[in-house]
Amino acid sequence: MSAKVVSIIVLLVLSVAVGCALGEWFYRLYLSAIPPVGQSQFNAQAAHFAFITYGVGVGVVMFVWSLLGMAVSGIMSKMPKREAPAKA
């Protein structure tokens, strides 16, 4: 495997891990905002699944944005530099 492929895989894993952490954090906020009387065990489990799933989605979106940023950076570095206009 080349270094480029390894770095992309590491970026994907880290992005999804950050997304899962965000999903878990928002789930904890959800649990603290809803009183226990107003929530069943089914609702808590369904919400947990939904927050983790949305977190994975956010991680994938962060990964795509990172890849786009890396691609634009590579394109910009290959463009020829413009010379500054001569001053009088």
Each of the 88 residues of the chain gets a pLDDT tens digit; together they read: 888 899 999 999 999 999 999 999 999 999 999 888 888 889 889 999 999 999 999 999 999 999 999 888 888 788 777 776 767 6
The DSSP string of 29-45 is HHHHHS-GGG--HHHHH
Can you give the pLDDT at residue 88? Answer: 62
Please tell me the distance from the alpha carbon of residue 30 to that of residue 50, in angstroms, as a whole number: 12
Can you give the pLDDT at residue 2? Answer: 87
The CB density around residue 15, as the number of other CB atoms within 10 Å, is: 21
Half-sphere exposure of 16 (CA within 13 A, CB side): 8
The CB density around residue 5, as the number of other CB atoms within 10 Å, is: 9
pTM over 0.95: no
